[in-house]
Structures are given as structure tokens and as C-alpha cells.
Structure 1
């Protein structure tokens, strides 16, 4: 009999760009020393969770996060690990690498809102967000909504389906804040836009017979547990 298929979807650790308020998207910076330490705590907090396999996006910050977790979690046990470009962050085109204020300054104006807070209060859709990013992108690199939707959904669904047909169990996945938030909206359209996911937070999904169920979002208690374990040694 199969075990339940459970995805532990982790937002990567805090990076240099996260710390100074720059938009990463498909650009990349490594984790800061503080960011690395928080992910070590996360790995310790997850050490009693058995993972059948592990995945991350192909972005450096996600791969670095996955390796740190696996180093702290393994205790000598090898877990198959694969990267998947489909679960990387949204591409912000020419806004990649710029300050967050540039992205969240121009996008609300394109959508006819006064500011970021006004835009979020009015609960825009992810399609509206994607269309506004394309409108703001002067390099024509940003992805259309349908392309983002197809790659993100197929990436996570293929991972879940593969695990289910191979006996189920837990899967560790390291991805990105907006991508994880977007996936939640595809599962439950009533959810608000969760742009503020914490670095190192865990969002947990159950997958059964082609359907996802959200169990928890933005859970940071594993980091706290790992910090306690670390302090005892």
C-alpha cells in the first residue's frame, strides 16, 4: 500500500539580493552567511522527516539551499536529488536585478493603482501581474502568463505524480517565493497573493489521484526546532 505523497516545498535561503531589496527572478546571488545558517537550522529541524527524493530549481540559490539541507539532514543516508528548471522563479525581464521599489513602483501604475499597497488591497490576479510585468519589461524577456502557468504546474505535478506512482512518501523541493505563491493560487483560487513567504519556510502539499491539497503555507517552525537542536550541541 502506498504512503501518502507529501511535498515539502521550501523557499530558498536569504540571499544577497534579498537582503538589499533587489528583484532576483532569473538573476541570481548566493545565500548570505545568515541565510546559510537559517537553512542549516531548517535541515536540522527536518532531520526526522524521511525524504524519498529531493528537487530544486536550477537557480544557484535554490541548489545551494538544497545542498545545505541535505548535508544537515542526511546522517549518511543518500537521497536522490535532481534540478528542474520548470520550478524556477518568474522572469522579470529587464527588471531582474533592479531594486524591488522599481518593480513594485511601475507595476501598480500600469494596473492603474496608486501604489503597491493599493494594488494588493484590491487583490489583483496573477495574470494581471504577469501582463503588467510584460508591459514594464523593455527587453521582451518576461514570460507570458500561460507559459508561467504551464511550466510551474507541470513541474510540480510531474514531481508529485512520479512519487505517487513509485510508492508515495515525502519529497523535498526548493523553489522560490512568487513561484510557490502562484502554485498555491492554481490549487485554490480563493487564496490571497502570498508574495511575502519567508526564506526557509515550508509549504506542505498532499497529492492524491491527480489532486493537490494544501496542508500548510509559510511554516517556519522547522527552523525554530533546528535552532533549538543546534543550541543543545
Structure 2
């Protein structure tokens, strides 16, 4: 069985100022770097040894992985990047303020003026369709393209790891991608939203099947923060 530690990347400049990052990219902030240092130290404190590492090909996930591997003492393990586990692409709204897209244009498509306040969130398929409709650049993906790449990306990583005899792997991806993937794995569950930067979602994989464990855990980061705090006072 392969144990998968699926991480949302550290906090970035766009995360901080409320921009829809998507396929555009910004580096981690000082706060974001500290958060993934904490995560790495938390993994180390738990004695976690990873056999393989994977991330999207976005700079923020690559940067996050560097901190994780260094601070968890897991350097020099096989590491691959795969564009299939990138964040959603917001097309011509990529890099724009969240409010312009999620509170401006999309409610018009859904005919819902205040869908955040009512909690009547669209499904991922509906959201992808709406983004595709309002994109003027022709960059946005259909739901079939988006869901297909996410599913195949994670499945191939898990199968490759299982074939290599890996027991523990760490994967760094993106908030909406992780939430969508978890929902696709367990359609009957509530779709997770607002996963924290540096949070860990635990999956297990065996013989072609995934199981979803704890979602969006901050326990490793909290443990690492205690390690850092104690190191300063020693």
C-alpha cells in the first residue's frame, strides 16, 4: 500500500492579496516559506521517510517541495513534476482579483447574486463550465479536460509509486485541484473548500484503488511550529 501525503503549496503573493492564481504564478511569501518549513519539520518529527516526491510544474509547488524535502531530511529521493496536477486554469481571469471572478462574473452565469452568502455553491462541473463560457482568451479548460488530467495525473503517480515499491510519497498540488480530486474520489462526500496552505490530505492507494483519509490536516505544521519555537528558546 502507498501512503500519499498530498500537500497544498505554501502561501504566495497572490494568495495574500486575493488574486485567482490558476496557471499564473507568484513565489511564496516569507510567511509561506515559514509555513512549509514548519510542515517539513513536522514530517521529520513524526519520522516520516518518503520514497518518492511529485509536484505540479508550477513554481510555487516546486518551491514548496524544496522546503519540505530539506526540512524533513528527505533530500535526494526521486522527484518528478507533472503539469496534470496544476491548479485550475481561469483563462482570461487568471491573475485577476477573486472578487472579479467569483463575486462578479460567475454569479451572472449562475443567475445567483450572492451565492457565497447563501452557501448555494455550484458543482465543480458547473463552475468549470461557467469559467469556460466567460473566458475570452480561449485558455480555460472544459470540465472533461480538467477532471481528466487531474484523475490521470494522480492515478499515474500512485501506480508508478506502487510498482516501485514505495511506501510513503509526498505530493504538492493546489487548493482547488485537491478539493476537486477528493470530491471525484468520493462523490457522496461534501466537497472540501478553503484548504489551508501547507495542509495535508492523506490518501492511500492499493491495487488501483484510492481511499481518502484526513482532509486538510494542519497537525504537521502545528507540530513543526512547536519544534521551531522550542529551538529558539533552547
TM tier, smaller: over 0.9
Contact 2:56 2:62 in 1 (8 A): yes
> C-alpha displacement at 1:194, in angstroms?
2.1
Unaligned stretches of 5+ residues in structure 1: none
Aligned to 2:164: 166
Question: What does 1:75-224 correspond to in 2, within 5 Å?
Answer: 77-105=75-103, 106-118=105-117, 121-224=119-222
- Deviations along 1:66-96, whole A, 9 cap, x unmatched? 0011111126x52111111110101000000
Contact 1:123 1:193 in 2 (8 A): no
Off by >6 Å, runs of 4+ in structure 1: none
* 1:16 and 2:13 correspond: yes
Q: Take 2:226 and 2:146, find their aligned partners in 1: how far apart are those partners?
A: 38
Which position in structure 2 is the counterpart of 1:73? Answer: 72
> CA shift at 1:102, angstroms?
0.8
1:28-75, Cα deviation, whole Å (9 max, x unpaired):
000000110011000000111110010110000000000011111126
Q: Note the alpha carbon deviations across 1:96-115, whole angstroms, 9 max, x for none.
A: 01000011121122011122
**Is the 2:7–2:171 contact (alpha carbons within 8 Å) kept by the matching residues of 1?**
yes
Q: What are the ranges of 5 or more consecutive residues in structure 2 without an aligned counterpart?
A: none
Alignment size in residue pairs: 228
Question: Kindly tell me: are residues 108 and 190 of structure 1, through their superposed partners in 2, closer, same or farther at Cα, counting changes over 3 Å?
Answer: farther
Q: Matched residue of 2:213: which SS? A: strand
| Aligned counterparts, 1:37-56, within 5 A | 37-47=34-44, 48-56=47-55
Deviations 1:144-178 (A, max 9, x none): 11011111001000011111122240110000000
1:25 maps to 22
Question: Per-residue deviation at 1:6?
Answer: 1.0
- The alignment yields a C-alpha RMSD, in angstroms, of 1.3
Q: Distance in 1 between matches of 2:191 and 2:95?
A: 22
Deviation at 1:195, TM superposition (A): 2.8
Instruction: Tell me by how many angstroms 1:143 deviates.
Output: 0.5
| Rounded Cα–Cα distance in structure 2 between residues aligned with 1:190 and 1:117 | 22
Q: CA deviation at 1:125?
A: 1.6
Distance in 1 separating the partners of 2:130 and 2:9: 25
